[in-house]
Amino acid sequence: MSIYKECDIRGIYPEEISAEETYHIGRALGTRYENAALCVAGDVRISTEELKESLIQGLLDSGITVIDVGMIATPMFYFAIEELEVAGGIMVTASHNPAQYNGLKMMFGNMPITDREIQEIQRLVKRKKFATGKGERIRREIKESYRRFLEESCPRGNLKIVMDCCNGVTGLYYPQIARQLGYQVVTLYQEPDGRFPNRNPNPALYTCLGDLCEKVREEHADLGAAYDGDGDRVVFVDNQGRVLLSEESFVLYIEDALSRQTGSVVYDQKSMSIVPRTVERCKGRAIMEKSGYGFIKKRFLENHSLLAGEISGHFFFGEIGRDDGLYATLKMCELLTRKRKSLAQMADALPKSCVSPEIRMFCLYETQDALLKKARKFSVKYPIEELDGIRVTFPHGWFLIRKSVTEQGITVRMEGETRQDLETMKQEILEVIPELGGHEYFKKGQREG
């Protein structure tokens, strides 16, 4: 499986992504962005330091000025590109993937890298005809500038937050910064450990957040915040120790933002119906986009949107032009303080429906195409959209099947207005795509969202 994905470069270390490969990627990037100054950072994964050093050496050998900002969270890396006024940068991280993975997130200008640019880098790596030069490495500290940015952007507060850092890079920065802004912070798994020994680094796997839920109840905290391995995603737990679906958190941001100004909101096509319905109810313009960080961010920036969100826990804010797990946490605290309501009260007031988790099934590429072809048969009876994969609108719900951007396989999600609607849809879907019957979800009941 190629490490060159639609939105980034990612694979298993060292079988798929190695120091040799990242050196050549550095040479390719140095050739593509000749004579530029680029920012480089990394997370806490066991393989990050080796891959980062080989990447930097490749950049230097192609004449690039490298601004090394060290081991920081991805939102701090994005901030550094803007603060240091460089052409772009590369973050060595596999984000939410398990410990055996690593990769490269890249940004040039204020836009995420495109699929076409990634394919061009792959071609340059294969040709190995690189620019040569003698670049310079400059080390810079960004933490204090980032803290000042948050201090200027977010009001101080005194709520009690439990932060689950999942032994990722956030433990080095997020709790301390939040305390400096007046918050009472209790931590879980703060010690950085690139093996992620205590939970999966993907907070959107809600069943992994049991320890956080228990800690919130034990501490009588106002909320819990679970971050991914590199800190750009966040999933919230309310004061009763219940996990909020990412769409529920997103809706709270949407209602607040559109109560104060008009504008557009970009949302992930896998999102529950509550998201576009809330935008429309609040007189905003809802823009659906295909799943994937790069696609969402590009549409968000192109439309100068107020907000954007993915079900994975990425929240983008128009006032800063990017996503940031800590900024999102502080904004949620600000919202709760201003509304004078608990997170549980606000979550309980939201409309309910029945939604599946994001179902992932490993399958070969030719099988993926065959499953999508079968899903297309629904067009005889129901409206379908092909923004990314096949999205079927049923009378009382919807169903989406698409190829995964980050893994070899498909992802499926569906929503019904009631449990019975969802059960009826499941049976109809299995009649057309019986292969899905092999997944545990289609053999048991569903979650009420």
Q: Which residues are designated catalytic?
A: 10, 95, 314
Alpha carbons 337 and 347: distance in angstroms, whole number: 15
Alpha carbons 107 and 8: distance in angstroms, whole number: 10
Alpha carbons 151 and 79: distance in angstroms, whole number: 14
Tracing tokens 């608990």 back to the chain, one arrives at: 342
Selection from 296, 90, 101 nearest residue 200 by Cα: 101
Q: 105 near 323, Cβ under 8 Å?
A: no
Q: 93 near 106, Cβ under 8 Å?
A: no
Q: What is the DSSP string of 162-177?
A: EEE-TTSGGGGTHHHH
Selection from 206, 208, 278, 217 nearest residue 244 by Cα: 206
Cβ neighbours, 10 Å, residue 111: 14
Q: Dihedral through CA 142, CA 188, CA 307, CA 148, nearest 10? A: -30
322-323, strands of its sheet edge to edge: 285-289, 264-268, 307-309, 315-317, 322-323
Measure the N-to-C terminal CA separation of the chain; round to a whole number of Å: 34
DSSP H or E stretch at residue 136? none
Element counts in the chain: helices (H) and strands (E): 14, 22
